[in-house]
Amino acid sequence: MLRVHVTHRAHLVLAIVALSVGGFAIGTTEFVTMGVLPEIAHGVGVSVPSAGHIISAYALGVVVGVPILSFFAAGLPRKTLLLAFMGVYAFFNAASALVSSYGLLTLARFLDGLPHGAYFGVASLVAASLVAPETRGRAVAGVMMGLSVANVVGVPAATWLGQQAGWRATYLTCALLALVTVVMVALFVPQQPGDPAATGRAEARQFFTNGQVWLTMLAGAIGFGGLFCVYSYIAEIVKVVGGLDKGAVPFFTLAFGLGMVVGTWLAGELARWSVFRSLLIGGLGSGLALVAFWLAAPHGWWLWPFTFLVTAVGSILTINLQLRLMDVAGDAVTLGAAMNHAALNVANALGAFLGGAVIDAGYGYRSPAVVGVILSVVGVAIMAWSVTLHRRTTLAAATC
């Protein structure tokens, strides 16, 4: 991996903070939709489960955008890429606030998702290149911490703003945050020339023919979907199942945010111990936390600590899936760093879709937690399979 020497620690901190602000903008944008979903549904004249499809549209945009943008970006300067991705992100957030119909909003959310994963992938590579190899987990966690802090500050604040001033105000705020990121990246992130030897075709060939890559992405796409089964419909779970009024919703989005901060920090620490074991712990813990969430859902404010727990345990997966893909990607570093976010947004789309499906089928707003438990168990099984194959391959290579 290309490494950039940073002379002063202050310069390193400012660079990581600038990259993290981009994570804050993306995290606020991605997750605030859940908090104002009833307002969006009312504003564009559809049901809440139907409005949930805009969450899936954004997530699918991430999935589509990662391989396409990474293909063309493999050899380009990384700072230029970061600026371009955030500029596009700001534009489509603004477009989301200005459209007048459900169809156009769905399209705008899909287009806004395109640079999401590519930004995080390039930002993670930049952060990892600024530090010693043994601390790369902390550097990547520092970038992702912006996304986590967004769920503590940005999402609750934007949810409140959406309830008071209308859901369009939330997307305008997200556009402003993206523009702030452009300025900070321009000022504080050092230049990193692209690798002229890197080509999208070569990276794609190496990356997508790797069995461990597919198993890791599949484990994330399914296992992390459990969190989004409940998060996508948290506003209605709190009101309909928990019996609380809409003023309680920002406190529950805050619980998700606090859980993400704790889980992201813990993931960075666990990565120094074992990436594999951390992934298994995160998957198993997610399933158990979702069982507790289901049990607590009808009991009002008692649901709050379990909302925190679901995200704290689940967030262990995000950093370690990222590191796992970067490890198995070989020379396909741009794709390896970015495709984790494609996988996690498949989880986002899958969770929102399946959660909405069981609600539409008449099982109520509590039922997505049950679907989430099933997804978590399947994700753990896939990761265990991946670990087993990895160990067999390593043992076979050692005995040759």
Contact present, 310 and 285 (Cβ < 8 Å): no
Residue 2 has pLDDT above 60, yes or no: no
Q: Which of 60-74, 127-141, 240-254, 367-381 has the lowest mean pLDDT?
A: 127-141
Best CA proximity match to 228, nearest among 296, 310, 143, 149: 310
Eight-class DSSP state of 76 = S
Q: Which domain holds residue 364?
A: 9-399
The residue that leads in pLDDT, 38 or 196, is 38
Q: How many domains does the chain have?
A: 1
88 found inside a domain: yes
Residues 227-270 pLDDT 10s? 888 888 888 898 999 888 888 888 887 888 888 888 878 877 77
2 found inside a domain: no
4 found inside a domain: no
- List % helix, strand, coil for the chain (3-state, nearest 5): 85, 0, 15
Can you say how many angstroms the Cα of residue 174 is from the centroid of all Cα atoms in its chain?
16
Contact present, 61 and 114 (Cβ < 8 Å): yes
362 found inside a domain: yes
Residues 139-155 pLDDT 10s? 777 787 787 788 788 88
3 found inside a domain: no
Contact present, 153 and 260 (Cβ < 8 Å): no
76 found inside a domain: yes
Q: Cα(first)–Cα(last) distance of the chain, in Å?
A: 28
CATH of the domain at 181: 1.20.1250.20
Eight-class DSSP state of 273 = T
Contact present, 250 and 256 (Cβ < 8 Å): no
202 found inside a domain: yes
1 found inside a domain: no
Residue 387 has pLDDT above 80, yes or no: no
Q: Residue 243's CB: how many other CB atoms inside 10 A?
A: 12
Residues 159-174 pLDDT 10s? 889 888 888 999 999 9
